[in-house]
Amino acid sequence: MELQAVRYAAMISAMTFSQLVHAHEAYLTNTARNPEEAQKEILEFLDWDEPQEDKFAPDVRIILASANFSKELTTSVMWLNEHDVDVTCIRLRPYKDELGGIFLDVQQIIPLPEAADYQTQIKAKEQAGKAHRAERYDLRYQFWSQLLNLAKTKTELHANRNPGIYNWIGGSIGKAGLSLNYAVREDESQVELYIDLGAGNDDQTLEIFKQLKAHKSAIEATFGGDLEWQDLPEKRACRIRKIIEGGYRSPQAEWPKIHDALVDSMIRLDKSMRPFVQALKK
């Protein structure tokens, strides 16, 4: 039942308004009714004053009616609903009274009426969340694309990296477990030396951080400013970073300025860190 309904819904979703009118005309003809009423009946059903091709069938809903629904069918329907296919199950149970009259007990079983509004709100929230995530990923991809294009004109660092949708891009500094990263958030960005020797090596990670921090004055002098030295006790890693004002939600007209600051800071961070990284004791 559900598969047949999905096939019908797919057919309807691909139809134009004029094609539907033509199909309804054929139906009215076959049932000995006036086919000239087809468009009028459809407009009344849709509550439209006139045809609107661009708004016709952007979404299609399915209503299944039966005296009983198997567990397999209801499971399928709930799965389809979770994946944004609008399916409702209506149970119709006929009864006959002692006078021979027929009555129908009509109950909506999926979604449950008392939960329908809540589920609609949840679905709307989920869809809004998906749209927000998609926008965030798209903005970050554009941000990284422009930054990497600029970086390639100034340094070989990150030259082999491709833009992505996540909030950081890593690069090598020539020592396993240490990386030079760009990171971006909505309103700020950073360059960092990230130290992570992997699970079970927390003590070695912290030891490398301490060795570098012993040269803090010399490193910051070469860098040309203060750096944040974070041992990150809540994580297994340590980080040395420089925050840059402006992120991927900053006006795009400001991105070139942010990218200039990031690339310049990355070049200076590499220059100040690399000699001490190469001299680290194993």
Choosing among 3.40.50, 3.30.1460, 1.10.287, 1.10.3470, the CATH entry for 132-278 is: 3.30.1460
Model confidence over 75-99: pLDDT tens digits? 888 888 887 788 888 989 888 888 8
Mean pLDDT for 72-76 is: 86
C-alpha separations of 238 from 193, 195, 242, 277 in Å: 8, 5, 14, 14
Average pLDDT score over residue span 243-251: 95
* Residue 42: pLDDT over 80: yes
Alpha-carbon gap, residue 244 to 262, rounded angstroms: 7
Could you read off the pLDDT of 52-65 as tens digits, one per residue? 877 777 778 889 99
- Per the model's pLDDT, the better-predicted residue between 85 and 155 turns out to be 155
Say if residues 185 and 262 touch (Cβ distance below 8 Å): no
In this prediction, residue 178 carries a pLDDT of 95
Cα 26 to Cα 18, 23, 60, distances in angstroms: 13, 5, 22
Q: Note the pLDDT of residue 114.
A: 47
| Spatial distance between the Cα atoms of 4 and 62, rounded to a whole number of angstroms | 11
Say whether pTM exceeds 0.95. Answer: no
Domain with CATH 3.30.1460 in the chain: 132-278
Spell out the residues 6+ positions from residue 257 whose beta carbon is closer than 8 angstroms to its own.
Answer: 246
Encoding tokens for residue 119? Answer: 């589920």
Q: Per residue in 187-238, pLDDT tens?
A: 999 999 999 998 889 999 999 999 999 999 999 999 999 999 999 888 889 9
- Give the tens place of pLDDT for each residue, 106-133: 888 887 764 555 555 656 666 665 655 6
φ/ψ (deg, to 5) at 193: -100, 115
